Amino acid sequence: MIKRRTVLTAIAASAAGGMPGALRAEDNYPSRSVSILVGFAPGGGTDIIARLLAPSLQAELGQAVAVDNRAGASGTLASAATARAKPDGYTLLMGTVSTQAVVAPLMRNPPYDQDKDFTPLVLAGTVPLVAVVPANAPYRDLKGLIEFARKNPGKLNYASSGIATQQHLAAEMLCQAAGIQMTHVPYRGTGPVLNDLMAGTLDLAIDTMPTHLPHLRNGSTRALAVTMPERVKALPDVPTVAESGFPGFEITVWYMLLGPAGLPAQVTERWVQAMNKALREPANRSRLEEAGFIPGGGSAADAAELVRREAARYGALVQRAGIRVD
Digits of tens for pLDDT over the chain (326 positions)? 444 444 444 434 444 444 454 456 678 999 999 999 999 999 889 999 999 999 999 999 999 999 999 999 889 999 999 999 999 999 999 999 999 999 888 888 899 999 999 999 999 999 999 999 999 999 999 999 999 999 999 999 999 988 888 899 999 999 999 999 999 999 987 778 999 999 999 999 999 999 899 999 999 999 999 999 999 989 999 999 999 999 999 999 999 999 999 999 999 999 999 999 999 999 999 999 998 899 999 999 999 999 999 998 888 777 776 777 66
- The one-letter amino acid code at 7 reads V
What is the DSSP code (8-state) at residue 22?
-
CA distance 30 to 219: 44
Side-chain-facing half-sphere of 40: CA atoms under 13 Å: 31
pLDDT for position 3: 46
Please spell the DSSP secondary structure of 60-124, one letter per residue.
Answer: HHTS-EEEEE---GGGHHHHHHHHHS-SSSSEEEEEEHHHHHTSGGGBSS-SS-TTTSEEEEEEE
pLDDT for position 2: 42
CA distance 287 to 258: 22
Tell me which residue of 121, 150, 161 sits closest to 41, measured CA to CA: 161
CA distance 222 to 292: 16
b/e map 64-91, b = 16+ CB within 10 Å: ebebebbbebbbbbbbbbbbebebbbbb
Side-chain-facing half-sphere of 16: CA atoms under 13 Å: 7
Query: Please, what are the domains in the chain?
Result: 33-126+253-321 (3.40.190.150), 128-226 (3.40.190.10)
pLDDT for position 326: 63
Radius of gyration for the chain, computed over Cα atoms and rounded to the nearest angstrom: 22
pLDDT for position 308: 95
